[in-house]
Each structure stands twice: as structure tokens, then as C-alpha cells.
């Protein structure tokens, strides 16, 4: 079996897991966005009520100040929501049960060519050391998953959850941004 089909299988498994993580992050994002929109509407309504009670000159100044504050709050909420989505996905990966983690590791191990050395997160060391014996080479700093290295060290396969998550976030960040922040009359920045 050539390395390319193995890599494709690994990438497909990673894409499926990444899609699951991104879907969960998008659901969380929708909930957070709804709350943020409600807060933004409340701020706008409060500022508009103040402006109507003020003198004509003060009304114009208050409205301009309110609009500026809403724009600043919206920009801040955009930053926070993007951070929440990425952190939520990371927390879900960190919270994988031992059974789920071991099942994923078993799947990843099927993609590792014979003779390769395997590294993992410290939390998976006991499981993989027992499963692989001398082929287990040690730990690496990652959320989970594994790194497989050819016997001569010339090929490294990064099958860590970190790599899958980074690829998913990077590949979909523009799409997530458009979904989160379009349709409110604003323009992307």
C-alpha cells in the first residue's frame, strides 16, 4: 500500500472529525451570535430613547456617539465570538473520553506504515506503549492523536488532533466569519 492512499485515508478521517468539530462550533456560534445581537439591539434602543428626550442639538451628538459605541461593541463581539468558536472546538477535543480517544488512536494507527515510530500526547502514552511496545517512541506536546516517523526519520506524519483542528479552523475561517457577521447591513473588515 502506497503512502498516498494512507495519507488520503488519514486526511479523510481528519476532515470528518474536523467537520464534526466545526459543526459543533457553528452551533455554539449561532447561539452566541443571537445573544450578541440581542445585546446590541438593547444598546441601540437605549441610546435612541435617550436621544429622543434630548434637545435637537444633543440628540444628534448622542445618536452619533451611540452608533460609534455600537460599532465598537460589534467589532469586539466579532473578535470574541471567533475566539469562542475556536476555543469551544479545542475544549471538545480536550474533553474526549478515554474510550473515544483510544478509538480514534486505533483508527490513526491503521494509517501508520509498518516500521514507523509513534509519538503521542502524554495522556495516550500508556495505551500506545501497551499497544505498540518498542515502536512507541515517546511523547510530544499536543492535544492528542499521534505523530508517526519513518525509521530513518526522513518522513513525519502529523496525525495530531492539533493539526486536524488547525487545518479545519484555517480552512473554514473565512466561511465562519461570513456566516457569523454578514447580513446585518455591515461590511466585512
How confident is the model at residue 106, as a pLDDT? Answer: 94
Number of domains in the chain: 2
The DSSP string of 96-120 is --HHHHHHHHHHHHTTSPTT-EEEE
How confident is the model at residue 173, as a pLDDT? Answer: 62
Do 77 and 111 fall within a single domain?
no
Consecutive sets of 10 residues in the chain, 189 residues long: mean pLDDT of each?
Answer: 77 83 85 84 79 64 78 68 73 87 93 95 94 94 94 95 80 60 49
Do 17 and 90 fall within a single domain?
yes
Q: Nearest-5° angle of CA 159, CA 161, CA 162? A: 100
Q: Which domain range does residue 124 map to?
A: 98-162
CATH number of the domain bearing residue 152: 3.30.2320.30
Q: Is position 189 within any domain?
A: no
Q: Is position 143 within any domain?
A: yes
Confirm if 112 and 122 have CB atoms less than 8 A apart: no
Amino acid at each position: 500500500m502506497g503512502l498516498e492512499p494512507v495519507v488520503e485515508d488519514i486526511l479523510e478521517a481528519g476532515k470528518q472529525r474536523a467537520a464534526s468539530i466545526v459543526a459543533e462550533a457553528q452551533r455554539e456560534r449561532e447561539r452566541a451570535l443571537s445573544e450578541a445581537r440581542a445585546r446590541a439591539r438593547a444598546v441601540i434602543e437605549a441610546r435612541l430613547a435617550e436621544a429622543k428626550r434630548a434637545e435637537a442639538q444633543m440628540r444628534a451628538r448622542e445618536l452619533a456617539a451611540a452608533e460609534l459605541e455600537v460599532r465598537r461593541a460589534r467589532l469586539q463581539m466579532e473578535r470574541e465570538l471567533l475566539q469562542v468558536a475556536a476555543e469551544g472546538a479545542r475544549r471538545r477535543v480536550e474533553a474526549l473520553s478515554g474510550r473515544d480517544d483510544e478509538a480514534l488512536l486505533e483508527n490513526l494507527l491503521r494509517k501508520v506504515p509498518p516500521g514507523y515510530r509513534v509519538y503521542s500526547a502524554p495522556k495516550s502514552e500508556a495505551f500506545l506503549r501497551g499497544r505498540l511496545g518498542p515502536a512507541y517512541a515517546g511523547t510530544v506536546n499536543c492535544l492528542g492523536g499521534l505523530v508517526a516517523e519513518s525509521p530513518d526519520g526522513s518522513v513525519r506524519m502529523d496525525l495530531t488532533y492539533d493539526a486536524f483542528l488547525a487545518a479545519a479552523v484555517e480552512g473554514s475561517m473565512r466561511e465562519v466569519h461570513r456566516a457569523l457577521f454578514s447580513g446585518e447591513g455591515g461590511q466585512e473588515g
